[in-house]
Amino acid sequence: MTYCVAIKLNAGLVFLSDSRTNAGLDQISSFRKMMVYEKKGDRFMVLLSAGNLSISQSIREILQVTQLPGAEGEEPVTIWNATSMFDVARVLGEAVRRIFERDGEALQRTGVDFNVSLILGGQIKDEGMRLFQVYSAGNFIEATAETPYFQVGESKYGKPVLDRVLEAETPLNEAAKCALVSMDSTLKSNLSVGFPLDLVVYEEGRFSSDKIVCIDENNPYFMMVRNSWGERLRQVFDSIEDPAWNGGATDVPIRVDSHRSRHLKKITGASEKLI
């Protein structure tokens, strides 16, 4: 399995992925889930993938040669000459469909689903940054101000911190820290996600990035984030009062008599009563 997250902010984009794949408990290995496509001064794009490894690798392999028909008298559209990230997402969707046409039936005969999820984000000259999630049918959706991030893979463990922290105005370094906390929560709760991690931070309007790093289990910053997050969570947890069943000093009792309270039936032997 895997976990990938991509975040779109006013200041730029953040991409983070793990690299663990497994086909059973005794077949665990590492493959990169992130690809960077860059033409300095013109475009910068990142692709994240989750799902069946053979499918995602095939899509990545043909993506650079996949074409869509251009307008009359114009050359076909590729990821390198598309004038918008929307068109790049269309090319990616076409690559997904071509792999399905090639392998989908054979996979189905062996009981394997055509399972792939992709995140594509970046910026092309003369256009703002855009972020898309592409599904196994080749269709896609785009991130909005109300939904500034996408996740694929084991997303549930790392989602709460993203929902609580991220806003369009969040600074890039803070968003990168948030993504790493989200990844740490996933690593803590799911053994199918693992090191090394790939992190890319892209600043709006640069069409390149010098903030690209591979993070292993000994990375000092990630270890600091992991330890600090665990310690601070425990401190916050300890600072919250325990349930007060009979009132007392607390102003927030857990048991309150009101018309909205629901009563349970407690069965004791042959009798029952409401509690």
Both tokens of 90, joined, read: 């269309």
Residue 26: the pLDDT is 55
What is the Cα Rg of the chain in Å? 24
The better pLDDT of the pair 96, 245 is held by 96
In the predicted structure, residue 274 carries a pLDDT above the cut 70 = no
Tell me 208's DSSP state: S
For strands 271-274 and 265-268, give the pairing.
antiparallel
Q: At what angle do helices 220-239 and 172-189 cross, to 10 degrees?
A: 80
Q: How confident is the model at residue 244 (pLDDT cuts 50, 70, 90)?
A: confident
pTM over the 0.95 mark: no
Lowest-pLDDT range of 41-45, 113-117, 159-163, 259-263: 259-263
What percent of the chain stands above pLDDT 90? 79
Scan for tokens 């401190």, then name that residue: 235
Q: What is the 3-state secondary structure (H, E, C) of 136-199?
A: CCCCEEECCCCCCEEEEECCCCCHHHHHHHCCCCCCHHHHHHHHHHHHHHHHHHCCCCCCCEEE
pLDDT digits (tens, 9 = 90+) for 65-116: 999 999 888 999 999 999 999 999 999 999 999 999 999 999 999 999 999 9
In the predicted structure, residue 191 carries a pLDDT above the cut 80 = yes
Residue 251: the pLDDT is 72
Mean pLDDT across 204-218: 97
Scan for tokens 């990938």, then name that residue: 4
Residue 264: the pLDDT is 67
Average pLDDT, rounded, for the chain: 91
On whether the CB atoms of residues 63 and 92 are closer than 8 A, the answer is yes
In the predicted structure, residue 133 carries a pLDDT above the cut 90 = yes
Q: What is the identity of the amino acid at 128? A: G
Calpha distance 14→178 (Å, rounded): 10
Residue 29: the pLDDT is 64
Q: How confident is the model at residue 3 (pLDDT cuts 50, 70, 90)?
A: very high
Q: How confident is the model at residue 246 (pLDDT cuts 50, 70, 90)?
A: confident
Residue 23: the pLDDT is 46
In the predicted structure, residue 59 carries a pLDDT above the cut 90 = yes
Q: How confident is the model at residue 243 (pLDDT cuts 50, 70, 90)?
A: confident
CA 179 to chain centre: 9
Beta bridge partners of 12: 203
Mean pLDDT across 228-254: 85
Nearest to 157 by CA among 188, 117, 194: 188
In the predicted structure, residue 142 carries a pLDDT above the cut 70 = yes
In the predicted structure, residue 195 carries a pLDDT above the cut 60 = yes
Q: How confident is the model at residue 42 (pLDDT cuts 50, 70, 90)?
A: very high
Tell me 77's DSSP state: B
Calpha distance 31→17 (Å, rounded): 11
